[in-house]
Amino acid sequence: MKLVSAIVRPFKLDEVRKALAVHGIQSFTVSEVRGFGGGKGATEFYRGATYSENCLPKVKIEIVAGDNMVPLVLECVQQAAFTGQAGDGSIFVVDLLEALPLSA
């Protein structure tokens, strides 16, 4: 079993959700996060002053998948989240040793 964590642009969340749902993957966790990396931030002007926003808003999608499903999950996320611009995000895959339900 693996934990796939994808950091993507917020407006791509719905496309990723739909791509995963087509293959029956409907359970995952979404968190609002901020990141600094390939996007290099943005410069904004407000009331005559210049502000640099270095940490951009992103969403983190966490999916628990069986080893055989990981290539499909990666393909779905990559195709749905890709814009071709710097700052598209990253995908991380780690071994998940154990997962336990909260109920008895």
Query: Domains (ranges, CATH) in the chain?
Result: 2-95 (3.30.70.120)
Q: What is the pLDDT of residue 42?
A: 60
Run of H or E residues at 31? strand 29-35
For 77-104, write each residue's pLDDT tens digit: 999 999 888 778 899 999 999 888 888 6
pLDDT of residue 3: 96
| Predicted TM-score of the model (pTM) | 0.80
